[in-house]
Structure 1
Amino acid sequence: MQKNIKEATGTNLKLIISNKRFLKAISLINRNLINNTNISLTLISYECNYYDQAHFIKEFKRFMGMTPLEYIRSFNDKKDNYILTLQSFNTLIDVFNKD
């Protein structure tokens, strides 16, 4: 099965799952920021099936080049500029996650 997935997508199953899980996590963070709600990183890591919060933070940093807290602080510093971009980003994620 993994060989068929690799041939069809050009990447391995582990990377596909990792990407999808990260997209769900960033979407939850973005929605939290846009809606000005307060959801914990522990809950986000749990919702996205990370082993624990430390694993989530490590993966987030690998994908984004910064920790979730740094990302949130960056957003808060430039909130007005990010709102439309995040709404568009989340729309794309929703389309991707329907597959």
Structure 2
Amino acid sequence: MKSSENIWLTPPKIYFLWVLLYFLFLLIGIPVYNNGHSGGEQRPLTLIAYSINYFLYGIIFISFIVIPVFFLNWFKRHWVVPIAIGILFLVFLIGGLTNK
């Protein structure tokens, strides 16, 4: 077996870890960000709204840069998956940025 196939970190796990880190950031960040502010401010919702773009940037970065560079053997066999995910989230990002 090749040494690159024995690793515990695979591209689907990288996507899962990114989603998990994003939601952990929201779970921890929203109460911390809201601490000490009056009740009428919408700071947690603003944090969520702005963090969605960074979530999309991360998915696109993983799809187009991380997976093809670090997991070339996996990418050669399953190239449709990261490209489709990257294009889908790129369309979401462009659509969201043009509607502002």
Band of TM-score, shorter chain: 0.3 to 0.5
**When the two structures are superposed, what TM-score results if normalisation uses the length of structure 2?**
0.34
> Which of the two has higher C-alpha Rg?
2
TM-score by length of 1: 0.35
